Amino acid sequence: MKKSKIIFLFLVIYLAAVISPLHILAEERSIYVGDLIELKIQAEDLTLDELKDKFKDFEIVNVTDIPKGYIITLRTFETGERTINIGDKELKIVVKSTLDEIERDNIYEGNLEPLEAGFYIRWKYVLIPLVIVFLLSFAINIKTLLKKRKKSILTPYERFKKAIGDLSVEQKDYLVKLTLIFKEYLESVYSYSIRGKTSSEIVYEISRMPQLNEKLPEIKSWITENDYFKFSGTPAPIAKKLELMERLISLVDRIEESKEGEVK
């Protein structure tokens, strides 16, 4: 689940980078002298004076405020290519002469319809990462589900042995995790809730389990010695950690043997 959240966060960051707050796109068609050019500019930090200054080489016909930007209508009677930089975007406007490209015998009527601004995203650059992230997330969820399913198939004793094997004696909280593994084993076998309880409460709960009456003094001794190193501030030597681990394994092994005897 944690990995899925990380991937989802990466996806949000990627989309924020791809879909920038500044979008400027003029429809790709020829612009001639005198044509009205309408541009939709989205840039929150751009003031009206700065906008007019960037298009000072054009005749500004109209400017309309819109959320997070402007719609500007302009035209020019001079031919040539002009480059306008707005933020990290570069807008090129090429104005052509009708006399150079069109041969007409009649009077030429200019196009008074403004060019519409558009918004364009190269979707392949968005969809490909989306598919990759989806597949990664799907694979991680399947892997997690299989692990949980495999763990649920194990018996309480098998889960106990596996958890013990996964521990490292070098861990600072080794004894804490050792106690937790023992609690989980007892809860799974005898259906008693003891996690989160104090040692004295745990001993009380175990005393209510008839199957463990014979093992109660040994369990109490193990918990008491374990607590000494956990709470006294005295670090347990590695040899002591290994001893406590071996005693716990031996204790659980004998509990399992007594269970088999009860079944017979």
Give me the average pLDDT of each 10-residue run along the chain (264 residues).
52 48 48 81 80 84 84 84 80 76 55 60 77 83 67 84 93 92 89 82 86 89 92 90 94 86 50
On whether the CB atoms of residues 129 and 11 are closer than 8 A, the answer is yes
Cross-strand pairs, 93: 82
Q: What's the CA angle centered on 256, arms 236 and 195, to 5 degrees? A: 55
Q: Does the model's pTM come out above 0.85?
A: no
Is beta strand 59-66 parallel, antiparallel or unpaired with respect to 69-75? Answer: antiparallel
- Do 202 and 223 form a contact (C-beta atoms < 8 A)? yes
pLDDT at site 202: 86
What is the pLDDT at residue 103?
Answer: 55
Measure the CA–CA gap between 176 and 237, rounded to whole angstroms: 15
pLDDT at position 105 is 58
Q: How is residue 187 written in tokens?
A: 């809860």
Token code pair at residue 230: 């956990």
- The domain ranges of the chain are 20-120, 154-263
Predicted local distance difference test score (pLDDT) of residue 81: 84
Instruction: Provide the 10 A C-beta neighbour count for residue 52.
Output: 15
Residue 50 and residue 87 in contact, taking contact as beta carbons nearer than 8 Å: no
116: buried, middle or exposed (CB in 10 Å: 19+, 13-18, 0-12)?
A: exposed
Looking at residue 134, its pLDDT comes to 80
Residue 140 class from Cβ within 10 Å (0-12 exposed, 13-18 middle, 19+ buried)?
middle
How confident is the model at residue 114, as a pLDDT? Answer: 62
Phi, psi torsion values for 81, nearest 5 degrees: -105, 135
Strands 31-32 and 89-96, sheet pairing: parallel
Helix, coil or strand: residue 16: helix
Query: What is residue 169's predicted lDDT score, i.e. its pLDDT?
Result: 92
Contact 24, 91 (CB under 8 A): yes
